[in-house]
Amino acid sequence: MSKIRLFNAKILTMKDREAADGEIWIDGKKITYVGAPKNTDISFDREIDCAGDLLMPGLKNAHTHTAMTFGRSLADSASLDDWLHKHIFPIEAKLNEDNIYWFSQLGYAEYLANGVTACFDMYLKPDAQAKSAVDAGFRHVFCGAVNDFGGMDTLEDEYNRFNNYDELVSYQLGFHAEYTTSEGIMKQISEISHKYEAPVFAHVSETKREVDGCIDRYGMSPVKVFDKLGLYDFGGGGFHCVWFDDEDLDIYQKRGLSAAFNCCSNLKLASGAARVDRFITRGVNIAVGTDGAASNNALNMFREMFLLSTLPNLYVDGGAFVDPYEILKAGTVGGARMMGLDDCDILAEGKQADIIRIDMKHPVMRPVNNTVANIVYSGHPGIVKMTMIAGNILYENGEYSTIDLDKVIDTTDKMMDSLR
């Protein structure tokens, strides 16, 4: 438990859109001071001169499949259905616990280099995943991954176990999607949700084909099916949210649900383009995710934020011109809210010290006409100089403190030989 002082910084707390000169003190996992430069006789273990760099809350990756780094650039140029059935499922059938552990280490390394301090992850073999997260010092929120092929019998146990596993790990109820999950299983998940008064999350309306299929099966869209089955009675939300109609939006607004968008993956798999402007207008909580590296092919929240902000301009006559501050809020505060990380959302006293440092001397950040617009429209992972989670500096100037990147690369390279 160390005491750290980050001084001589610009601070964007994400309570408001203006960055201000100041400093941050950290004691153990938490922030003890955020504000103007201040004298103190506290003895810090480390004092870091930020030299005018920006400190802000870490980015929250609100939908991902971390271990899917194995599939990066392995099967491109395919639509979601083909990609999943012809390319991904056959490899997933071979994955063991070791694979999940090491490919997740690679994913956590990329998150840290990219300024991501938490992820909302849906995937396989949660024990190996949780160990990998804790070893990396990464904040990992599981989303249940139930579908017709498995997961229902262990969902409640996982929910209880991983919500009492480690401070860095938590678990939300969830299932894959309507098109992979029978009504009977969805009803069982709804029952568990009611028992624990817990929110439920799933992929929803990612492709037009999915929505059309659901209408064939149920006579209504996936959002309406989930709502009717009581899956949204205690909140929750969806991943992708590309093909929402007005009634779907009404349900998300009325129920206080959250929508996580994954623009790069949607573009690459030819699924469509989400319309974040329609969610913002209704005040729906929005969040940003990368999806897995197998479909994206990066875990780059900056590229996601640029796209989420600008893609609606293709569909609104004269331009939608989404406010970039709404998008940066989605990438930080909105994601934290969706994932149940209420103590990791903004920079404030008593909050978890999940902080990133942005290089304000990088040419792409100059001149400073508008800091928030610079991050959303100009930013890329190369501007991240430091990533801290729960008071631990896990990434600094290209070096990792918890991840042995050379070993991760060697190990995952060898594993690929047997997976390809």
Token digits of residue 400: 């990792």
CB-wise, 80 or 388, nearer to a copy of itself? 80
| C-beta of residue 406 within 8 angstroms of C-beta of residue 60 | no
Residue 79: CB minimum distance to a copy of itself, A: 5
CB-wise, 235 or 381, nearer to a copy of itself? 381
Residue 339: CB minimum distance to a copy of itself, A: 22
Residue owning tokens 């490919």:
103
What one-character DSSP code corresponds to residue 264? H
CB-wise, 67 or 257, nearer to a copy of itself? 67
Residue 5: CB minimum distance to a copy of itself, A: 25
Burial of 256 from C-beta contacts in 10 A (0-12 / 13-18 / 19+):
middle
* Strand, helix or coil for residue 61: strand
Residue 397: CB minimum distance to a copy of itself, A: 9
| C-beta of residue 204 within 8 angstroms of C-beta of residue 223 | yes
Residue 342: CB minimum distance to a copy of itself, A: 29
Residue 283: CB minimum distance to a copy of itself, A: 20
| C-beta of residue 60 within 8 angstroms of C-beta of residue 335 | yes
Q: CA 390 to CA 167: how far, in whole Å? A: 9
Look at strands 59-64 and 116-121 and give their pairing.
parallel
| C-beta of residue 200 within 8 angstroms of C-beta of residue 190 | yes
Residue 243: CB minimum distance to a copy of itself, A: 13
Residue owning tokens 């995952």:
412
Q: CA 305 to CA 308: how far, in whole Å? A: 5
CB-wise, 106 or 393, nearer to a copy of itself? 106
CB-wise, 227 or 326, nearer to a copy of itself? 326
CB-wise, 91 or 225, nearer to a copy of itself? 91
CB-wise, 61 or 296, nearer to a copy of itself? 296
Residue 106: CB minimum distance to a copy of itself, A: 6
What one-character-per-residue DSSP string does 8-38 give? Answer: EEEE--SSSS--EEEEEEEETTEEEEEES--
> Which amino acid, residue 413?
D
Residue 111: CA count within 13 A, CB half-sphere: 39
Q: First and final CA of the chain: distance in angstroms?
A: 43
CB-wise, 198 or 305, nearer to a copy of itself? 305
